[in-house]
Homo-oligomer: A and B are copies of this chain.
Amino acid sequence: MSENIVGPGARSPHAGGGTLRHHAYESLKGMILSSAFHPGERLSEVRLSQMIGVSRTPLREALMLLEAEGLVIGRPNSGYCVVHFDPEAIRALLVAREGLDGYVAEVACRTATDEDLARVTAVMAEIDELDRRRDGRTLETARELELGLRIHEVIAAATRNPALQDMTRRLYERLRVALWLEVLLLDSWDDAVRQHRAIVEAVVARDVPRAVEAARAHVRDSLSNMAGVERLYRERRQRFKLPLRPPERAKP
């Protein structure tokens, strides 16, 4: 559950598991990605340090790491807040993702070992398996999201390129909330399965043009879904009476 995308192989910053900074980092990231805070909510250092049970020093360091990853934003002398669901920013991230995923697929076609492809196939099999069981209408949104990320993770790993893996990992982490909303609010699972299968088949066949196009089409679909996600999200937010961009302070 605490697995990152592109789990082992792409070290998270100062990966040491024993340190309190690492603990604070993981805890906070988990809270944020599981929507424990309202979007845009202000993050008080003392409150968080008490919640997590560490001093302010490691907590501040964790906050800075998370800012570097784009999950929180902070202005000097003004503290940090959770990123809000900003449709425009999400669209920009998705546009970037279209290029990155396409290129990752392209490189993976060329550099993947047979083991890499086997791993990709294995994850795809898990997706199919979930798809079969799902006919009974069992709600497994969390597992859907997890597998949807995993398939991209193993494809990125198949590039054997740490830089590409890193960029992929960062991008998906920033998109995670939005993707979560997508699978939660929209029922895009069937399409997702089809598209993932198309990507996997093309990569396994080492068919570069087809893989690139499949990967890009997948993201474009996600992009066109975002309009609907935004609408549903706006409704939900209104129900909870959350302001649009809560802490947006005056800018000089």
Contacts and interface: CB of A to CB of B under 8 A. Distances in A.
Nearest to A68: B68
Contacts of A167: 96, 100, 167, 171
A107 interface: yes
Contacts of A22: 76
A233 to B, nearest CB: 20
Interface in A159-207: 161-164, 166-167, 171, 174
Interface residues on A, range: 35 or more
Nearest to A163: B96
Nearest to A74: B14
Interface stretch (A59-67, A146-154, A237-245): A59-67
Contacts of A95: 107, 161, 163-164
Nearest to A18: B76
A161 B93 CA distance: 8
Contact of A99 (B18, B67, B106): B106
B67 A14 contact: yes
A50 interface: no
A136 interface: no
A75 interface: yes
Contacts of A174: 163
A75 B12 CA distance: 11
A51 interface: no
Contact of A92 (B64, B76, B161, B171): B161
Interface in A95-110: 95-96, 99-100, 102-104, 106-107
A15 B75 CA distance: 7
A70 B102 CA distance: 24
B99 A103 contact: yes
Contacts of A75: 14, 16
A87 to B, nearest CB: 13
Name which of A68, A106, A107, A166 has the most chain B CB atoms within 10 A of its CB.
A68
